[in-house]
Structure formats: C-alpha cells, structure tokens
Amino acid sequence: MKTRSALKLRDELASGERSSREVTEHYLRRIDELDSLGAFVYVSPDAMDAAAAADEKQVRGQIGRLHGLPSAFKDLNEVAGMPTTYGSAAMEHQLATADHPLVARLRSEGVVITGKTQVPEFGLSSYSENLVAPPSRNPLDPRLTSGGSSGGQAAAVAAGMIPVGPGSDGGGSVRIPAAACGLVGLKPSLGRVPSDVVDGYLDAFGAPKMTVSGPLAHDALDAAMLLDAMRGSDHFLPLLRGSYPERLKGLRIGYSTLSPFESAYPITLQAPAREAFERAKRLLEARHRVEPADLHYAGDYPETFARVWTNGLRNIPVDDESLLGELARDFRRRSTARSLEVSLQAASRLKQIAADFVRQWSAHDVILTPAMASTPPEIGYFTRKDADTDYMLQCQYTPYTSMVNVSSVAAITVPITNSSSGMPMSVQLISPRADEGLLLALAKQLGK
C-alpha cells in the first residue's frame, strides 16, 4: 500500500475503492513484520472480523467519518474485550468490559481497532519503557526512544503500522513522540474533544485537567481528519481543505527559547533543535510578523507542576509497590505523603501560574518554541538513573511542553529539519486563544 495519506485511504474506503479487509490485512502484516519495534503490546484477534463487518456496512451505506480505517489505542485507554495494563506490572491486567469514551467515539466513526500500543507506566514519562513489555523504539533509529507517553502510537504511525493514531497529552505526550518520530502532533485545548471532559473540566484537587486527546499524523490534513472524528463534527478538515491556509498571513508570531523549568534545571538547546527553530522562524517570516516574545516565567513552576502532575498517583490502587518502576514508586510515595492541604495549595497556585502564562502569550497570535531541546535519547537513558535524575533529564529533554497543558490552550509540533544523524527536528506552535484551526493551517504552511 503505497499511500501514507490516511485521508486518501479514508476516502478510498468510503467510496468502496478499497475494502477494509484488504487495508486491515496490510496493516496487521506490518505490525507482525515490525514487532521488534515494540510499538504494540496487544494485537486484536478480532480485527479482521471487524473489517469484514465494516465492508458489509459500506455496501449498505452505513459509514462513519473513519469508516473501515485501521487504528490502535494507547494502553492507557480501555478497549472492551482487550487487556489494559496502564504500562504497570503492579496492576491487574484484566479484560476491559467497556470502551473508554474516546474509544467509543472513534469506534462509532467506523475505526477498525487493531490493538493496544506501548506506554510508560501510568503515562508518566516522555519515553515509553516499562516493566510489562519491551520498550517502544524509534522507527527512524531503533536504538532511540520513540518518546512518550504516546510512544507506541508514534512508532506505529511513523513505521506504517497504522495510518493515523489517537493519543493523549498530559504534559507533552502527543507532541513529544510526534516530534521524536517526525510526525505532526496536536494537543487541542481542554474541552475541544468532548470525551476529555465527560466528568468535568477540573481534577479532584480543583486544577484544570492537564490531559487531553489529540492526533498523531503524517501531516496536518490527516491530523484534522482525526480531530474531527474525535470531536464528532466536521470543522477542521473542511477548513484545511479550503483556502484558509493559503489566505492566512500577517500573524504576530512571538518566538522564545525560554523554559519555565530553567529556575530548577540547566536547559541547553542543542544545535539540531536550534537549527530547526531558526529555520522555522525564516519560513514563517515569509508570511507573518515574527518577533521576540518577552516572557518571564514563575520561579516556583517546576515544584508546583511536579506536585500537581503527581497528585493523581495517590489514588492508584497498588497492592505491591515492589512491582512499580522506580519513577512511579518514588513519585507515588511522595504524593501519598503530602497532605491534602499542600496538594490543594499546589493546584491553586498552578492555576495562577497558568493564567500568567496565557496573559503573556496573548500579546501574540502564536508563540513559537522548540519542540524538544535535543534529538531523542537512547533507550535506557532515563531509566538507568534514580527517580530524581530521571525526572530532571526528562525536563531537560522536553522543557517546553508541560506549560501548555497547565494553561489549557492548544499547541502543535511540526517537523522542520533533520539532524546530521538523520533524526527529524520539530518546533512547537502555541495558540493562546486555543485556535486549533490556526495551528493546523500553520503546520500546512510549514510544509506538513
């Protein structure tokens, strides 16, 4: 199957030019051939039956937005009839009895589910390694990480095991693996995907939820197609297929390499990341007003973010802590040791910090930052260290993503250049006004 375009494939499936059985068989074969990448932790034995059912529906004219298109879900999302590990050896790996809301949404749009993909334990990390299954490797260089926490999804899309993949992003978990694997990764604003807020916009401690669902794709059109299906409405794909990307010009784009983690850790932007950043500035200058952004980040962000980020670990039922990985075990202990008052104070403070982020960013239409500070590290680079060093190295590798999650706005990572070793390097575009259509159009202008 020569096309990399999920949109073209979707259209061929909808018209009957291709059958879902033909397409699903192709991707299942790819999954089997590329098993050594560790992208998949479970392959559905029912995928071909689901494809056959999709073909029957196509004959009857009963099709959704992604009719017959194979895809997979992170092993943090429950899929009825499939085991869910959450990336942890400490959890019972029982078969899910019901679909996660996002899974149900995309199943209703006709997706053929081929399986579950690798994640870090509880989705905590910017790499996808755990004690349950082999690590997810980067298809462009299997010695390297594919990122996290949607690392298995990114590896699967980049390697052609699925045409497009839904991910989730709680601190960069769509954008980081997308950047690591040379894909477009979109983190929508909080609430843009309805299944993210079925139980409200705030977490148990009163802070805006950090985690949202977003697409990983080869280009902006595929990302827009998947985002529309995740939302259940046609908006972003028609916008991108129209004249909007070509007409879009004159934006005020502020650029910055400042990270809110610099008050706690030394952040060094390596040459490949800087080259991509400078290249993106030049490309954007052809249509827009590109200028330095005068930003000042709160010095207590690193500590405050870490507390809120790990608050949820205290509620995870674990009978045997020895089965947890070191990072999850250490951060869970700290979370359970904190008083409820301290956790609530951290949530309140993070809301103040987030409001200040948005206030500063809003002096511009878009903020441009690097996506990551370096090329993807080798497998084991983080896990060979103690928990504190592991976390510090993650902050240094991905210092620009979590600030978007705490602010509830939208951001996208777009590949721009290749390093001397051949690894793609990306930039991040942030919309302080939560305009995903604007970000997708800019990604298209940048060649994706």
**Active-site residue list:** 74, 149, 173
Contact indicator for 34, 248 with CB cutoff of 8 Å: no
Strand 70-74 relative to strand 112-117, pairing:
parallel
Whole-number Å distance between alpha carbons of 324 and 330: 9
- How would you classify residue 237: left for phi > 0, otherwise alpha for psi between -120 and 50, otherwise beta? alpha
Q: Over 404-438, what HEC string results?
A: HHHHCCEEEEEEEEECCCCCEEEEEEEECCCCHHH
C-alpha distances out from residue 397 to 23, 259, 280, 309, 332, Å? 37, 11, 20, 17, 22
Give the contacts of 215 (CB within 8 A, at least 6 positions apart).
164, 165, 166, 167, 174, 184, 185, 186, 222, 223, 226, 227, 230
Q: Is the peptide bond before 149 cis (omega within 30 degrees of 0)?
A: yes
Contact indicator for 110, 63 with CB cutoff of 8 Å: yes
Contact indicator for 58, 68 with CB cutoff of 8 Å: yes
Whole-number Å distance between alpha carbons of 41 and 82: 11
Structure-block tokens of residue 13: 């499936």
Beta-strand ranges (E) seen in 218-359 are 252-255, 289-292
Residue 93: is it exposed, middle or buried by C-beta count within 10 angstroms (0-12/13-18/19+)?
middle
C-alpha distances out from residue 221 to 110, 237, 253, 360, 405, Å? 19, 6, 22, 30, 23
- Pick from 132, 139, 174: which is nearest to 155 by CA? 139
**DSSP class of residue 378?**
B
| Exposure letters 42-57 (e unless 16+ CB within 10 A, then b) | bbbeebbebbbbbbeb
Whole-number Å distance between alpha carbons of 233 and 180: 30
Q: Facing residues of 184 across strands? A: 217
Contact indicator for 187, 141 with CB cutoff of 8 Å: no
